Structure 1
Amino acid sequence: MDGYSQHGEFDSDALDLAPAAPVSPVGDDERRMHVRAYNHWVSLLGGRDFPSIEDLDPGNIEDFASHSVLLDFTSGGEDPETAYIGQAIREEGGLGPTVRTIADVPSRSLLSRLTDHYLQIIANRAPIGFEAEFDNQRGDTIFYRGILMPFSSDGDTIDFIYGVINWKTGGEQRAALAARPLAAPALELTDLHAAPGREEEELLELEQPLLDEDAGLADRLHAARETAETLKALDGRSRVALYRALAMAWDFTVAARRVPDEYASILEDAGVKAQARAPMTPIVKLVFGADYDKTRLTEFAAALSHAERCAVDFGGFQAFVEACPGGLKGLVAAERQARRPAARGDDRGEQARAALREAAPIALETALGDREFALVLLRRGEDGAVAAVAALADEAMLEKALRKVV
């Protein structure tokens, strides 16, 4: 717990502002392709609800490009285009260049297993993972795991979906999968056990660290870490252990403010950097370990940040989280909502209309310039005359418009 690997660090400034939804739906085994794909999706969030499609280059992600597909909904949601299909998926399904939309995907191909789930993404507005088996067009039994992840061109609309799928074939693999069950979906915060099981009871009955009000900062950190270790021993599934660990982390936070020099020394010894923009991230790294699940660390930091926002007293975190609707998940959602910038007023459109009512007309040749295509804004005057008043140079908007008219 005292050593922190450089490789365990993560960009908390980006991830700490991520939406509440992205909890990995496919488990914690970093060796699995779909988990690496999910982590790549998270790395592109940058505080947004969905990553920008401009940040995705599916053909150049060496780790899983050949096992991936990109669906493009900009021309409509009924039959999205297959903007990219990885080579391994093409070879498994015998797919040629004629597969251009979902409707072209053969029903007994592996690709159909991936595309069958895309409507769930639209409904859930979050990544989904899935796993099953089926007999393909050659009669081979295929065991597969996949994940679908939403992308957006405007930050709000899901108009692209990126999927990654991995598979195995044969009776030998059936036996292997039966002997070693696939990882279950990661639990949401509200899915933690409400009542302790036998193993949990035994661990929670162990003598808990007792601290008096004058305990030193190092003692508080040690006690918080011990409680976090109990949580890990229960595979992160104990609400009691989790709330206890976070409560001790909060008390450590309050105590650290009283002795900033001592706190700075602890951070330096642990190799953890202070972060002005995300001050709770170093706290949760110290308590739970920098190599703990990054999504959960982000959520824990958000919960502690909300306690700070609400001026929770020393020793008051447990009552605070238990009183919150939704418990810990409710705290995380409340903090993320509080961080979102206030919605911009909608008067910009009216200001633009007022300016364009007075704008001088421009010739279409001028609007087009030396381009082959252009988007032109027209105005109808009070006399009914129509005139071009502006040309838009947004290539992404032009490309979307072109897709709409064919």
Structure 2
Amino acid sequence: MDTARGIDDRIEHGADYADDSAVSDTPVEVGTDERRMHVRAYNYWVSLLKGRPYPSIEDLEPANIADFGPNSVLLDFTAGIEDPEIRFLGMSLRAECEVDGGITRVAEVPARSLLSRLTDHYLQIIANRAPIGFEAEFVGQRGYNTLYRGILMPFSSDGESIDFIYGVINWKEAVDEETQTKLNAELAESQRSAPTPPSNAPVWADGPGAETRSDDEFDAYTGLADRLMLARETAAAVRAADTRSRAALYRALGRAYDFAISTESNAEDYAELLEDAGLKAQARAPMTPIVKLVFGSDYDKARITEFAAALANAKRNDIAEGGFTTFIEQAEGGLKGLVKAEREARRGKPKPAPMPFEAVASKMRNRPALAQIPMGAGDEEFVVLLARKAGAGTLDVVARVEGDKRFTEQAVRRAAK
């Protein structure tokens, strides 16, 4: 069945998928463009939040979204959740599903169509009150094996209830096993007969040299956007006013920390994600853009600062991937405790209070004299003299510095060290 990733990763589906033999549990290899559409759609949803739990439906105009509008559908629940109205259906999705303008409700969606992959998940949004991302492969209505990746995002007409859901999906069709075997054989033969490339030739993730990458390298190349998506889905629950809890917050921060760790081995992909979101890396506060990517740049600035400090403290303590939730739960004071610890660590050890001047003066009174000079001593106990090097190990005193008590005390303190 398709893999849906929501708040708890243990979603109770609104429909029974146990008998859906057309959907496979096989891991899905979806190309970079499909993954980026997934992320761009979520970035768009976050940009419409403007500090609210859910974006306003008034701000959504799917027909004017050139990027993923043709691959999207808008469901209207204002008349009830049993059979939502289809308010918008993108041209690409309409053509793929071979439906005409007569389809107006979810009940009319053809079974085994790509559109049904989106509409089958809508009750999860109602239950979890946060965006849901999912991916799978299935045999479509034309008999082709289709790999797809989708996201459903909640919208509201009153700022509190979810009465609209906007879905975006991208897909690609896979060839049958016989054709794939033939293609693999032809590719292997062409590689055997091709000249050996230079050792410094680039290896593209989806090009002829892709098989020279290890599985771990390929997962790392394509997995960063997925990690961000997973962290964002959990963070969306924290942003919703009625779902804020310490457990949900710690889970969201844990996934944000795991994403931060994964950026270290995916620097180029991370730079592209920052550019897509209009953010820049910060050398002095490296966790701040991480928090903004996950929770949204419009999130409360004080909370962004706190979250970034907590993640930075975990990194300072070399917490491994997957260990942040345990780390923060065991920390004294929880989130506030980590923020305090990080701020103290940044300030370093506090400087000791300066020794009282009388104690410094007493120390200097007992120090043996280096020389005695026949000149007027004046009324002050300590006097600053200016000397120049005279050669042969001697100094010539050329002036007496007077009239600056603070400067004299500073000189005495420095001499006493």
User: How would you bin the TM-score normalised by the shorter chain?
Assistant: 0.3 to 0.5
TM-score, normalised to structure 1, is 0.45
